[in-house]
Structure 1
Amino acid sequence: MNFTFRFATLSLFLVSAATALAGPDSHYDELFDESGEVRAHYAEVFKIYSRLSKEQRERIRKKSVKDFSGDNALLPLPRVIPEDEFEGTLKKGIEQRGTALRMFIEDYFSGK
């Protein structure tokens, strides 16, 4: 199975499968499905992340906090958006917001 990945600037917390199974009132887990399995579109990213030692993961986290301080700190894994979700839903919304922002800026700077 081939996947085309698009990485958003949003990130996620790596949680355990036990957390994913906490119950229906807990939270939606981006990484694990309801049965505790890694979602298909995260399989490759999770495989690579799982190979990192605890020290390597901590080094990545600390570098992120240092480089992107405060609220801009990145979490260790990017949010993976499957191509069908991006193409079917997100792309239209991003284009719409980009168009609205461009029109606002054009109006503002044209003096209209």
Structure 2
Amino acid sequence: VCGASSGRVHGYHWRTVADVPVDGRRVVVRVRVRRLVCPTRGCRHTFREQVPGVLERYQRRTARLNRQVKAVVKELAGRAGSRLLAILAMGLSRHTALRALLRIP
């Protein structure tokens, strides 16, 4: 909240995210991130460190997988995109495919 950088570790947290499939098999990455405490006196906020370029905030897919999903969904929205993603071992529902399409600026 205050914008101060911190190095004081409060604890650790595991994030489980999906990555690009390899040889038709799903890949799941477990990343251990630190939970940091704000160093400002009186501010009791904690926050998790971010992994830039790999994970975006609140996402369950890596940035690389998101780029591939968006490329497919941009061409084939809805059910067709969902079917192609299932063949590529990146299974998404048609509703999630449409939400990914709507997030593209």
The answer, yes or no, to whether TM exceeds 0.5 is no
Indicate the structure with greater strand content. 2
The answer to which structure, 1 or 2, has the higher relative contact order (CA under 8 A, 6+ apart) is 1
- Normalising by structure 2, we get a TM-score of 0.26
Q: Which has the greater radius of gyration?
A: 1
TM-score, normalised to structure 1, is 0.25
